[in-house]
């Protein structure tokens, strides 16, 4: 079951490019409509109120191996040891980075938050394999990387945290660290932990930015087999705007001030994604007719917040309204506040440069 959304365009651009967004609910192959839930209709209904894809998902994003290395101590002790390193004098002046680079980027498990507190020196336990790098507009960067392996009752971890300054010259990216912490931990009967400082040598690597045909932005740092590809965690410019299926759009559909719907609106669904991380959603649809030819019809309006992490789109509704009305006299109607659950979706474009559809 597929729902296609076309984006409304600014006619100041040359031509009218049809761009279609498809949102696929992660891990769910069927989602019944409001009418089906309320009226006890069977799961065989083909009325839906959010897009579903049952035949495929976006390709899995590659997991890159962290570029850091660290060697645990062999001493059997639960007391951390540290290797003192004289920190370099910061001489690098933060510079303005290209706008494509300024974002949060991740590979593997994503994203890492509160991974290490440089003020308190406290580490947070994490699982799996992942890296994250955050570039600020003034040239500051933060890197976190971790690897955790569990073999039977034994566990080993390597975690790295870096802060520093970044500079770009053409396709060359220079990272000059000013804080580097690496934690090596092995737990197998007893605990062995080592925390080291450094190294502080500048790292120069080629970098490339790609805005993929699927809409997912990617940053690659390094060359050949040593390169790491990161996916963006944050706002995607091309996603912002109004997307609609059929002829239904947001203009005049619902008034939050008066809590009234346009009862003469056509059927369909629409999304309006803002660059501020907020969204609006509207839908008009109907259920299956009974023996007398009467059916339940509904209007839905919701707004809330959304986040984008690579190919995952997360929506959290905050306010909403649902109106249900019978199509036959006396046109009995019920209207009440209504919120859907917070949900995660897989999103991507297909045939982005042509007639995009999924």
At 119-160, the pLDDT tens digits run: 566 665 555 678 899 999 999 999 998 888 888 889 898 989
Q: Are 113 and 234 in contact (CB under 8 A)?
A: no
Sign of CA dihedral 127, 131, 137, 138: positive
Q: Name residue, tokens 């839908």.
A: 283
* CA pair distance 358, 343, nearest whole angstrom: 20
Within this chain, do residues 85 and 54 fall inside the same structural domain, yes or no? no
268, part of any domain: yes
Q: Are 331 and 349 in contact (CB under 8 A)?
A: no
Q: Which two tokens stand for residue 336?
A: 């009440």
Per-residue HEC secondary structure of 286-347 comes to ECCCCCCCCCEEEEEEEEEEEEEECCEEEEEEEEEEEEEEECCCCCCEEEEECCCCCEEEEE
The predicted model gives 6-35 an average pLDDT of 37
Indicate the helix (H) or strand (E) that contains 247: none
Question: Domain residues for 97?
Answer: 81-213
Domain total of the chain: 2
The enclosing domain of 110 has a CATH number of 2.40.128
pLDDT greater than 80 at residue 67 = no
95, part of any domain: yes
pLDDT greater than 80 at residue 326 = yes
92, part of any domain: yes
Within this chain, do residues 22 and 96 fall inside the same structural domain, yes or no? no
Report the percentage of the chain scoring pLDDT > 90.
Answer: 48
Summarised one tens digit per residue, pLDDT across range 201-235 is: 999 999 999 998 888 999 999 998 889 999 998 88
pLDDT greater than 50 at residue 27 = no
Within this chain, do residues 187 and 243 fall inside the same structural domain, yes or no? no
Within this chain, do residues 258 and 343 fall inside the same structural domain, yes or no? yes
pLDDT of 84? 46
Within this chain, do residues 241 and 204 fall inside the same structural domain, yes or no? no
pLDDT greater than 70 at residue 270 = yes
Within this chain, do residues 90 and 185 fall inside the same structural domain, yes or no? yes
23: Cβ contacts below 8 Å, ≥ 6 apart = 3, 5, 50, 51, 313, 345, 346, 347
68, part of any domain: no
Q: Are 321 and 259 in contact (CB under 8 A)?
A: yes
pLDDT greater than 80 at residue 5 = no
Q: Which of 60-74, 108-122, 222-236 has the weakest average pLDDT?
A: 60-74
């Amino acid at each position: 079951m597929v729902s296609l959304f076309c984006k409304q365009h600014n006619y100041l651009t040359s031509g009218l490019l049809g761009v279609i967004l498809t949102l696929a609910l992660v891990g769910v192959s069927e989602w019944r409509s409001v009418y089906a839930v309320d009226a006890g209709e069977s799961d065989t209904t083909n009325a839906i109120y959010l897009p579903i894809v049952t035949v495929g998902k976006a390709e899995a994003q590659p997991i890159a191996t962290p570029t850091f290395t660290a060697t645990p101590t062999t001493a059997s002790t639960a007391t951390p040891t540290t290797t003192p390193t004289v920190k370099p004098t910061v001489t690098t002046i933060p510079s303005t980075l290209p706008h494509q680079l300024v974002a949060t980027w991740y590979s593997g498990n994503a994203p890492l938050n509160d991974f290490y507190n440089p003020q308190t020196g406290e580490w947070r336990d994490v699982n799996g394999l992942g890296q994250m790098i955050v570039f600020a507009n003034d040239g500051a960067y933060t890197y976190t990387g971790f690897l955790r392996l569990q073999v039977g009752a034994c566990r080993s971890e390597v975690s790295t945290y870096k802060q520093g300054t970044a500079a770009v010259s053409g396709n060359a990216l220079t990272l000059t660290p000013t804080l580097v912490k690496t934690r090596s931990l092995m737990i197998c009967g007893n605990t062995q932990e080592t925390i080291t400082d450094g190294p502080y040598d500048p790292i120069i690597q080629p970098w490339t930015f790609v805005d993929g045909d699927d809409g997912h932005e990617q940053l690659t740092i390094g060359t050949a087999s040593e390169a790491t590809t990161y996916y963006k965690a944050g706002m995607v410019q091309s996603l912002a705007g109004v997307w609609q299926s059929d002829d239904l759009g947001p203009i005049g559909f619902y008034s939050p001030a008066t809590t009234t719907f346009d009862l003469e609106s056509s059927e369909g669904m629409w999304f309006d994604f803002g660059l501020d991380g907020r969204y609006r959603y509207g839908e008009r649809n109907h259920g299956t007719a009974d023996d007398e030819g009467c059916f339940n019809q509904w209007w839905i309006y919701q707004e809330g917040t959304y986040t984008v992490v690579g190919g995952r789109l997360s929506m959290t509704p905050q306010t909403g309204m649902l109106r249900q009305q019978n199509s036959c006299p006396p046109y009995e109607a019920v209207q009440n506040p209504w919120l859907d659950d917070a949900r995660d979706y897989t999103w991507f474009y297909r045939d982005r440069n042509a007639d995009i559809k999924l």
